[in-house]
Amino acid sequence: MLVSEICTKDVRCCDRNTDLASAARMMWESDCGVIPVVDAENKVIGVVTDRDICIAGATRRQLASEIRVGDVMGATCVTCRPAEDVRSVLAAMAQHSVRRLPVVDDNRKLSGMISISDVIQAARDPREGSKGGISPAEVLHALEAVTRPRTPRKETPAAAAPTTAARR
């Protein structure tokens, strides 16, 4: 099964100068938890997640409308290609502990998004089995890897505002 067969092709995106309030609005309207970040040529340069927005909003003394996506998006972005086998995407998701990947063409231009949910839905489709689809065991292995708890951080970000109790 290929990425192009199950990915979402109509994807909203933003650029690094988009403010977090606008990115959150896009997520709300699109019912998604990640927005690809692209440059002027529509090449993927990163992603911003609902978690990125939440952590930035809770740890900075700024409104979401004052914080730019480029200030909070991750430094690296794992992507995949439309012609890639879904098994390799599951492996990449498991390796990097991510649930969603931008789908890019050979020039890194955005052409869609694939999520672990897309893979689960395809694996549940009995018609996919005859086309060399993904087994539930393969999906379960990747799902376990991407949902495994990470080691908690010991320090709060430097830009964090002190709590009410700390101010007393």
For position 43, what pLDDT does the model report?
A: 96
Q: Tell me the whole-structure pTM to 2 decimals.
A: 0.80
Return the pLDDT at 158: 52
Q: What is the pLDDT of residues 40-61, one digit of tens each?
A: 999 999 999 999 999 999 999 9
pLDDT at residue number 148: 81
Cα dihedral across residues 65, 59, 32, 77: positive or negative: positive
Q: Which domains does the chain have, with CATH numbers?
A: 3-148 (3.10.580.10)
pLDDT for res 51 = 93
* CB count in 10 Å sphere of residue 56: 21
Q: What is the pLDDT of residue 64?
A: 94
DSSP labels, 34-63: EEEEE-TTSBEEEEEEHHHHHHHHHHSSS-
List the chain residues with pLDDT less than 70. Answer: 125-132, 152-168
For residues 26 and 38, the answer to whether their CB atoms sit within 8 Å is: no
User: Which pLDDT belongs to residue 146?
Assistant: 80
User: DSSP label at 14?
Assistant: B
pLDDT at 163: 38
